[in-house]
Amino acid sequence: MLLPTRCDVIPGDAKECRKHSLRCAELAAAAGTPQSRAMFFELSKNWEKLAVQQQDAFATVTDETMFQESLNLTKWLSSLPIWKR
């Protein structure tokens, strides 16, 4: 069998998505019919799109977390006696 019949895990990172994309590209290259080739090629592109989306989502979460930490640090610094007169 070439592909699992059921996927129990949703890929959690872009690296894993890219592995799936590469595997689908390999299957596309080895496919015996134009329809199979097209299907696996399309799957490969979709896995790559998902990898990019996950990277973007991670970057957004990281940016928001850093922003919130920056606000917390600013609040803490402004509460120091040195800033109060």
Question: Is residue 84 situated within a structural domain?
Answer: no
Q: How confident is the model at residue 9 (pLDDT cuts 50, 70, 90)?
A: very low
Question: Is residue 82 situated within a structural domain?
Answer: no
Collapsing DSSP to helix, strand or coil, 1 comes out as: coil
Q: Which domain holds residue 22?
A: 14-76
Question: Is residue 4 situated within a structural domain?
Answer: no
From residue 22, alpha-carbon distances to 38, 53, 57 in Å are 14, 17, 22
The predicted-structure confidence for 15-69, as pLDDT tens digits, reads as follows: 999 999 999 999 999 999 999 999 999 999 999 999 888 888 777 666 666 666 6
Question: Is residue 83 situated within a structural domain?
Answer: no
Question: Is residue 47 situated within a structural domain?
Answer: yes
Domain count across the chain: 1
Question: Is residue 3 situated within a structural domain?
Answer: no
pTM of the prediction? 0.59
Question: Is residue 68 situated within a structural domain?
Answer: yes
